[in-house]
């Protein structure tokens, strides 16, 4: 019934359903939602989906950009302020990035996943928890990367250009 659409909670939104930066300049950020709110609005959420995950205390986050077998890892100091601890994009223009060296085992595991998914390009996001364990959040096969090239000098554009020049049967 279309009348049910008017009963949505006003803050019902999903990061996956909203653009990173909308034409109006508004951005949807990740927020902490109490479990009782999810239960309270469970019927509405059926019509207004969201992605919910357990909150994990973290040391920092990683954005790992993979182009074919080239890996560019950036550490994001996502504990620099309280608002950044939930979603670092709230301070994305701050100096919170640095190059990160992945362990050989982690790099190999990531490249294996990348190949198994059949991706040429992927922007992988991880939380590194308080024990130092990387926790996979997502891979975006068209995720943003240029800001890392600008801030950290990663030659991601060159890697993408090389990948685009490969014969199509190699993908």
Write out pLDDT tens, residues 139-171. 999 998 898 999 999 999 999 999 988 776 454
Q: DSSP assignment, residue 125? A: E
What's the pTM? 0.74
Q: In the predicted model, what is the mean pLDDT of residues 120-128?
A: 94
For the chain, the maximum distance between any two Cα atoms, rounded to a whole number of angstroms, is: 55
Write out pLDDT tens, residues 126-146. 989 989 999 998 999 999 889
Mean pLDDT of the chain: 78
Starting at the edge strand found earlier in the chain, the sheet holding 121-129 runs 97-99, 70-76, 58-67, 121-129, 134-140
Per-residue model confidence (pLDDT) at position 168: 64
- CB 28 within 8 Å of CB 18: yes
Residue percentage of the chain with pLDDT more than 90: 40
Nearest to 98, CA basis, from 145, 57, 154: 154
Query: Residue 6: pLDDT band by 50, 70, 90 thresholds?
Result: very low
HEC assignment per residue over 35-74? HHHHHHCHHHHCCCCCCCCCCCCEEEEEEEEEECCEEEEE
Q: Which helix (H) or strand (E) holds 114?
A: helix 104-116
């Amino acid at each position: 019934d279309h009348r049910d659409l008017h009963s949505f909670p006003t803050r019902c939104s999903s990061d996956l359903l909203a653009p990173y930066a909308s034409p109006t300049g508004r951005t949807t950020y990740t927020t902490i939602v109490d479990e009782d709110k999810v239960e309270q609005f469970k019927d509405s959420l059926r019509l207004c989906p969201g992605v919910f995950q357990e909150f994990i205390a973290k040391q920092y986050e990683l954005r790992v950009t993979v182009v074919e077998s080239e890996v560019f890892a950036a550490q994001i100091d996502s504990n620099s302020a309280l608002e950044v601890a939930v979603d670092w994009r709230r301070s994305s223009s701050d100096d919170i990035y640095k190059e990160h060296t992945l362990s050989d085992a982690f790099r190999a595991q990531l490249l294996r996943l990348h190949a198994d998914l059949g991706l040429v390009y992927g922007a992988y996001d991880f939380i590194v928890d308080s024990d130092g364990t990387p926790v996979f959040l997502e891979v975006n096969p068209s995720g943003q990367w240029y800001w890392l090239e600008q801030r950290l000098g990663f030659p991601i554009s060159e890697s993408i250009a090389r990948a685009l020049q490969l014969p199509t049967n190699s993908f």
